[in-house]
Amino acid sequence: MNNDSLPEQKIPFYAGENDSDMSRVCLSPDVVKAIGLTEETIKNATWWHNNECLNLTALPGFTAAGDLSSSTLKLTVPQAYLEYRTQNWDPPSLWDNGVPGIFFDYNLLANITRSFKMGNNKYNVTANGTCLFSSNYICSHVEFIEDADKLSMK
């Protein structure tokens, strides 16, 4: 699409509704989402083939050409129909919340210092760590630091 590649997927072609000798590409709602059309373009779009395929003729300048020899579909989409995107950034419509997970990292350090001449012993225990929990809706972060009797939470 506009000289950028999209992931490989199956795209059906169907006979035209008014001309059975002419085949038309069927861009499903999932494919349309991957293209990154603006919400306004999708809202104003019309669909055909039982509302499964985007009607390209209703979007001036939007063209699709299949190439059977290379099994590719070349799309030309006017910039006005597309969300902002660059090569290293996806538009917000393609974002998701990831997968639920939990991450726990900790460090425990204990020291004993003995002074044979003075007869003193010094004990020091330090613990610190972080815990991160995320679900599709919540991401929380707890950090703990303990040094002897001091405890703080962020």
Residue 1: the pLDDT is 57
Under 8 Å CB-to-CB from 128, ≥6 apart: which residues? 106, 107, 143, 144, 145, 146
pLDDT the model gives residue 150? 42
d(C-alpha 44, C-alpha 39), whole Å: 9
Instruction: Give the model's confidence band at 123: pLDDT under 50 very low, under 70 low, under 90 confident, else very high.
Output: confident
As a whole number of angstroms, the distance between CA 4 and CA 118 comes to 74
Task: Give the model confidence (pLDDT) of 19-67 as tens digits.
Answer: 767 888 999 998 888 888 888 998 889 999 899 999 998 999 999 998 8
Structure tokens at 100: 């639920």
User: pTM of whole model > 0.85?
Assistant: no
pLDDT of residue 143: 58
* Residue partners of 146: CB distance under 8 A and separation at least 6: 125, 126, 127, 128
Asked if residue 83 lies in contact with residue 91, where contact means CB atoms within 8 angstroms, the answer is yes
Longest dimension (CA), the chain: 102
Token duo for residue 110: 């204990």
